[in-house]
Amino acid sequence: MEEIRRLKRELVAKGAIIDYYQDTMQIPNGNVAKWDLIDHKGAAAVVAVREDGKLLMVRQYRNALERETIELPAGGLNGREEPTGVAALRELQEETGYISDSAELLTSIYTTVAFCNEKIDIYLAKDLRPGVQHLDEDEYINVEVYSVDELKEMIFTGKIQDAKTICGVLAYAAKYNI
């Protein structure tokens, strides 16, 4: 494959969660193209499995979709250097109130490779203990519990459409033959 070169990168807008850049690219046929890039510091999600085998999920309103969603507990890194396993366990406690001492990496995903570099590492947490939920000021989250079969049904009927949740639940189910 011939080389594609970036000629220039310009910051268009700096946001609280993402930065938007426009890249000027030289493509192999000699043309110059403008490509958008959304730069994201990264995130972590957690498949939190209770002793009875059911998974903790969070229901919350998502502005981009203008509706509530059912998702894995997840959130952005506090900085690019933060270990994603630490972030996953932090988000587990903040969003659900549950604590775990270990996080096993299940899979990693890039959410939208055409224009965004957001990477989400998805972890498995077991041996959950009740703790205290610590929601951000702008968060309103309900914690719900589902079996893997219930979640798979919601995935395959389109009720769950969140990519990290689909990947996490199905990776967990495949790895453990559930």
Identify the domain containing residue 148 by its residue range: 44-108+120-175
Q: How high is the pLDDT of residue 82?
A: 93
Q: Are 56 and 151 in contact (CB under 8 A)?
A: no
**Residue 23 shares a structural domain with residue 96:** no
Identify the CA nearest to 43 among candidates 133, 110, 138. Answer: 110
**Residue 64 shares a structural domain with residue 129:** yes
134 within domain boundaries: yes
Q: How high is the pLDDT of residue 120?
A: 98
Helices (H), the chain: 84-96, 148-156, 163-175
**Residue 85 shares a structural domain with residue 23:** no
10 within domain boundaries: yes
113 within domain boundaries: no
114 within domain boundaries: no
Measure the CA–CA gap between 146 and 131, rounded to whole angstroms. 20
> Which residue among the candidates 3, 51, 66, 137 is catalytic per the annotation?
137
pLDDT digits (tens, 9 = 90+) for 103-155: 999 999 999 999 999 999 999 999 999 988 887 777 788 999 999 999 999 99
Neighbours of 106 (CB within 10 A): 21
Domain count, the chain: 2
- Measure CA 141 to chain center: 16
**Residue 101 shares a structural domain with residue 17:** no
Positions of the chain with pLDDT lower than 70, given as ranges: 1
CATH number at residue 64: 3.90.79.10
Q: How high is the pLDDT of residue 154?
A: 98
**Residue 90 shares a structural domain with residue 151:** yes
**pTM for the whole structure:** 0.92
**Is 51 one of the annotated active-site residues of the chain?**
no
